[in-house]
Amino acid sequence: MAVYVDRPMWFWAGRKWCHLIADDVHELHRFAAKLGLTIHSYQGPPKTAAPHYDITGLERSRALSLGAVSASRREIVEVYRRVRVKNGKQRKAA
């Protein structure tokens, strides 16, 4: 199983951000813990359809040094489609 990280592509709060995603949610959480991320930064059902963490460019560099695989946007989307939870993202009640 692998953990993937794409290139930082959007700005928020003065930083550039990217995605950390894995083939297995348990591996994702283990890897995130190695990076020093807390579960509070986890993005997953019911908030999003696929389990992932949003990380900064600095965290990306550390992730790569710990063995994450650098992935293109297209590759990240492929992983996202593989791991997404059917009906995982719940709409807010109107």
Least confident of 51-55, 58-62, 84-88: 84-88
pTM: 0.85
Task: Round to whole Å and give the CA distance between 88 and 28.
Answer: 17
Strand partners, 42: 53
Round the average pLDDT of the chain to a whole number and report it: 87
Give the pLDDT confidence of 3-44 residue by residue, as tens digits.
999 987 777 677 789 999 999 999 999 999 999 999 888 998
Cβ 83 vs Cβ 22: under 8 Å: yes
Please identify which residue in the block is written with the tokens 């939870």.
Answer: 85
